Structure 1
Amino acid sequence: MEGLYLGCLVGGVLFTLASVLVGDLLGQWLDGMFDFLSVDFLKPIVLAGGVTGFGGAGILLDRYSGLGRTAELVLAICIALMLCALVYFAYVAPAERSENSTGYSEKELPGQIGEVSIPVPAQGYGEVMVRGVGGNSLHIAASWEHREIAAGVQVVIVDWRDGVVYVSEFDEGKGEGFI
C-alpha cells in the first residue's frame, strides 16, 4: 500500500509542477479537447490536490497510525475528499466568481452616456470619452443631429457604425417617464 500512496503523492506533485511550468502550452495544444468532461468540481487543480492529499495522508497513516490497511485506506480517501472540497470552496469557486471582463462590445455602446473630449463639429468628427467597468474609452464621434457639440458636454450615444459613435446632447429632463 505504501507504493500506491507514494505513487499518488509523487504523481500529484509532478502534475502540479508540470501544470505550473507548461500548463498554458498544454492548454493550447489540447484546446478544449476534454470540454465534455467539464464538471466544476473536477477541475485539474482539485483532482491534483485530492490525489496528492490521498498519497500524503496514506503514507502518514501507514507509518504512524497503527490502523489496519482498510481503515488507513478509508481514512486517506476521506482526507483526500476533504482536501478536494477545501481546494474547491476556498480557491476555485471564489476565483471563478471574481473573474470580471473589462472588455466590451462596440455594439453595446448605444445608450451609453459620454462626455465630449474634443468638440464635435456639425459636419465632421470629434471625440467622446465613455466611462465603463474597465475604465475610460475614447471614441471617434460625429453629431447625430448634425449640430456642433462643445467639449465637456454630456452626450448619449445614439448609434455606432464603422468605428464612429453618433451622439446627441444628453438632456436628463427628456428621459423622464420612459422605461
Structure 2
Amino acid sequence: METLFWICLITGALYALFSLLFGDLLGDALGGIDLPGFDLFKPVILAAAVTLFGGAGIMLVRYSSFAPVAVVLLALLIAVVGGMFVFFVYVKPMENSEVSTSYSIQEMIGRIGEVTIPVPQVGYGEVMIKLTGGNTLHIAYSFDRCALAAGMRVVIVEEQEGTLGVSLLEDSI
C-alpha cells in the first residue's frame, strides 16, 4: 500500500517540476490547446490531488493506526479537498486575471485622438489615444497636409511605418 502512495507522491512531484521547467515550451509547441471538460479536471489540479493523495497516504500509514481502507479513504478525502483548494485559490483567480492590455498599431486606425504636440502641414507632431489600459502617445503626421494645433481632436486615418496619419475630426472645430 505504501508503494502506491510513494508512486503517487513522486509522480505528482515530477509532473510539477516538469511543468515548471518545460510548461511554457510545451504549451507553445501545442499551440495553447485547451482540452474540453470540467475545470476541476485541469492537469494542475489533478497533479496536486495525486501528490496530496500520495503524501497524505504515506503520513497516515506511518503515523496512524487506521486500517488500510480508512487510510485510502482519508487520503482520497485530503486529495479532493486539496484539489478544490488549488482550484478556488489558484486556478480560478488566475483564469480571471489573464487580460492583455496589448494592442497593435493597426488597431489605432479609426480611433479618435487628441493632438498633444502640434502637427505641422509637413512634418511630425504627437497624438494621444485613450485605450482601455490607459493612454498611449504616438508620432503623427497630417494626412490632409493642414496644421493641427495642440488640443484638437483628430481621427487616425492610416499608419505608415509606425507613424499615424491623422485628420481633423469635424465636430472639434
Verify same fold: TM over 0.5.
yes
Measure how far apart 1:69 and its partner are: 1.8
SS of the residue corresponding to residue 153 of structure 1 reads: coil
Task: Report the counterpart of residue 177 of structure 1 in structure 2.
Answer: none
Distance 2:145 2:7 in 1: 74
Question: What is the root-mean-square deviation of aligned Cα atoms in Å?
Answer: 2.8
Work out whether 1:159 is the aligned partner of 2:157. yes
Distance (Å, rounded) in 2 between the aligned partners of 1:142 and 1:19: 48
Asked whether the equivalents of residues 129 and 139 of structure 1 are also in contact (C-alpha less than 8 Å), the reply is: yes
**Cα distance per residue 1:40-62 (max 9 Å; x no partner):** 32322211111111111111122
CA distance in 1: counterparts of 2:128 and 2:156, whole angstroms: 14
Instruction: Name the SS of the counterpart of 1:127 in structure 2.
Output: strand
Query: How far apart in 2 are the matches of 1:38 and 1:21?
Result: 25
TM-score by length of 2: 0.79
Q: Distance in 2 between matches of 1:113 and 1:161?
A: 14
Count of residues paired in the alignment: 171
One-letter amino acid of the structure 2 residue matched with residue 155 of structure 1:
R
Q: CA deviation at 1:134?
A: 4.0
> Which string of whole-angstrom CA distances, capped at 9 and with x for unpartnered residues, describes residues 80-118 of structure 1?
111111001101111111122111244543564433233
**Alignment of structure 1 residues 1-179 onto 2, 5 Å:** 1-32=1-32, 35-37=34-36, 39-106=38-105, 108-109=107-108, 112-122=111-121, 125-143=124-142, 147-150=146-149, 152-157=150-155, 159-162=157-160, 164-169=164-169
What runs of 5+ residues in structure 1 fail to find an aligned partner?
175-179
**Aligned residues of 2:16 and 2:47 also touching (Cα < 8 A):** yes
Instruction: Out of 55-64 and 162-171, give the one that drifted further.
Output: 162-171
Q: Aligned letter for 1:62?
A: V
Secondary structure at the aligned position of 1:35 is classed as coil
Q: Distance in 2 between matches of 1:61 and 1:76?
A: 8
Name the aligned partner's letter for residue 41 of structure 2: L
**Cα displacement string for residues 105-133 of structure 1 (whole angstroms, at most 9, x for unaligned residues):** 44543564433233223466532122434
Return the alpha-carbon distance in structure 2 between the equivalents of residues 87 and 36 of structure 1. 19
CA–CA distance in 2 between the matches of 1:125 and 1:52? 61
Give the counterpart letter for 1:157 in structure 2.
V
Alpha-carbon distance in structure 1 between the residues aligned to 2:167 and 2:128:
11
TM normalised by structure 1 equals 0.76
Percentage of pairs with the same residue = 47
Comparing 22-31 and 7-16, the one that deviates more = 22-31
Residues 1:105 and 1:29: Cα distance change in structure 2 (over 3 Å): closer
CA distance in 1, matches of 2:113, 2:135: 10
Contact map agreement 2:105 2:159 (CA 8 A) in 1: no
